[in-house]
A = this chain, B = another copy of it.
Amino acid sequence: MIEGNLDKTGIGLFDKMNGIGAHEVIIETPLHDTTISTLPERKIEDIIWAYRDRVVDLKKDSRFQYILIFKNEGEAAGASLEHSHSQLIALPVIPRHVFEEIEGARLYYNYKERCIYCDIVRQESFSEDRSVTENEHFLAITPFAARFPFETWIIPKNHNSCFDEAQPWEYSSLARIMKNVLRRLDKVLNVPPYNYIIHTCPLRSQMKEYYHWHLEIMPKLVRIAGFESGSGFYINPTSPEEAAKFLREAKV
């Protein structure tokens, strides 16, 4: 069961919210004119460790309920600094989208007695239609109901709800697959602007069985317009199967 500031109606979700938080910028490299996709794997691993170490430190502050790590690459994706960087925001509340994912995963778990992300890893490895690449510890896919063209998720193969509780060798694997996927996107889409975010467990809740951390990469190729803002639905002109085929076949 989810503890803390969640309930089924959504009322009370923000009961405990107050105006505190933390915002940190992670400078990824001393080199001004570079992007994360061109860094050596070892350097990407350092960035991932910086994410992890900051989460481990900030979670000591009991006022924080969630830490969101994200990256905006390119001006069209909202990057306001040119120098390659990621950001971390610690929040006094669980973000809406994370709450919805967790609730969806919980309902699936109650119904199937299996983690939905573990089932996705199994199914997508088997069918291959939406798989982009994989290594020992991670699978990269274009999700079945992708919101954006070429949206790509990197999911750990071993069940684990929290990013900061991964094994050291998993961070090294993650660095390898992140570089691989970002290079594929660069190749196929000619160095696109993109956002990525890490969805992980809230800091003060138990959901070890049914939630599963992952990284979502969203290339910025189309604009969010009136339909999306008004409906909460996304018009995606590229099927995930087509996007996966392009990415899978790219030579990197």
Contact = CB atoms under 8 A, between A and B. Distances in A.
B231 A76 contact: no
Contacts of A104: 10
A197 B76 contact: no
Interface residues on A, range: 35 or more
Given A11-B107, A95-B233, A70 B195 contact: no
Interface in A211-236: 216, 218, 223-227, 229-233
Please report whether the interface of chain A is mostly helix, strand, loop or mixed according to DSSP: mixed
A209 B102 CA distance: 32
Contact of A218 (B98, B218, B229): B229
Interface of A: 8-11, 68, 70-72, 76-79, 87, 89, 91, 95-98, 100, 103-104, 107, 195-199, 216, 218, 223-227, 229-233
7 contacts: A8-B8, A77-B223, A96-B232, A97-B229, A98-B230, A196-B226, A224-B224
